[in-house]
Amino acid sequence: MSSSPHRPRPRPGDLIEIFRIGYEHWAIYVEDDCVVHLAPPSEEFKAGSIMSVFSSRALVKYSRLEDVLHGCSWKVNNKLDGTYLPLPVDKIIQRTKKMINKIVQYSLIDGNCEHFVNDLRYGVSRSQQVGHLGSAMASGSALLGSFASKRCTRGRP
């Protein structure tokens, strides 16, 4: 993994946000340019694909960061450090390594990759992405309702 002058090199326990088309994938940096992240338990869906969100289980994988990126951009994002106190780094790494190769329950709403890494770093399973998804769905529903209402009244006095 090349570290550009604009991007700080990740430290053990840092959360890595990977920008995929339509969503963010999350991993936790462990050591030697390697991360732990959630992936589909089979090759049914390619790891990191948007279709993988439909699986109800995930495999905890230890991978090189470059292999997880699939050409996407990324950044260190410990955004909840101001809200929650991170666990000690040695405890984060110990907890993270203990999870490698385990199959875990996966849910887009209450058990996704962001929940997973936040639980490892802070001891709190939380996803802000889900809140944004709910807002986007509500906005989309309102927009569709607006179109439907206009469509229904078109041609009426």
The set of residues, in sequence order, having a beta carbon less than 8 Å from that of 124 and lying 6+ positions away, is 80, 84, 118
* Residue 40 burial (C-beta neighbours within 10 Å; 0-12, 13-18, 19+): buried
CB 64 within 8 A of CB 39: no
Tell me how far apart the alpha carbons of residues 106 and 156 are, in angstroms, rounded to a whole number.
48
Annotated catalytic, 37?
Answer: yes
Catalytic, out of 34, 113, 132, 152: 113
Other CB atoms within a 10 A radius of the CB of residue 64 amount to: 12
Q: Is 113 a catalytic residue?
A: yes
Q: Which of 6, 34, 37, 152 is catalytic?
A: 37
Residue written as tokens 């996803």?
Answer: 127
How far is Cα 14 from Cα 30, in angstroms, rounded to an integer?
8
152 is catalytic: no
User: Is residue 86 packed enough to be buried (19+ CB in 10 Å), middle (13-18) or exposed (0-12)?
Assistant: middle
Exactly one of 25, 34, 70, 115 is catalytic; name it: 25
Supply the residues annotated as catalytic: 25, 37, 113
